[in-house]
Structure 1
Amino acid sequence: MKVLIEGGFYIESDDREFVLKEYTGAISKPAKGETEGKPVFKTHGYFHDVQGAAQKFLKMRISSSQATNLRELIADVESIRDFIRSRIDF
């Protein structure tokens, strides 16, 4: 599974874990015998469930908030939570 959350953020999973990744905008050099490189991702964490990955994304978005007071911060947090809920059905 690979789910786009927003922009370059993805949640990927296999049979053991969920991974929060961010596309860096870079393309790797092609491996020997290949004609094209692959997208480069930054891993932000490994999680037991999708909720853990979503919580990490929430914390990252909150830390980048431009809020200047508590009321704005609370509004930002609710907006981000609503966004995550709309993208990932809990």
Structure 2
Amino acid sequence: MSKTTLSDQQPIDLQTAEPLALAQALANQLAIGPMDWHRLNSDRRIRAKEQVAAALVYLLNDSPEEALPRLEQAVGWLNRSIKAPPCPTHGERK
């Protein structure tokens, strides 16, 4: 399988695509969307994957200073030293 399609983008040829485009596609696929936030925000594996993918995008953009905190977050999720913050919308008065 050498091509993949993201729902909102053109097909990507995995053999010829630039690494940054591949990393961005991966980060988009692994990002937790608003509709899934409450269900997945405490899933350590999913959160770690999301952070590692984001870090890779920053590394490929020559921004290691932005990648490092995301890698640290990923490690924190995996070693259980961090936990999900409370939902920012809970407690809001409308």
Relative to the length of structure 2, the TM-score reads 0.28
Relative to the length of structure 1, the TM-score reads 0.29
Q: Relative to total residues, which structure has the larger strand share, 1 or 2?
A: 1
Q: Relative to total residues, which structure has the larger helix share, 1 or 2?
A: 2
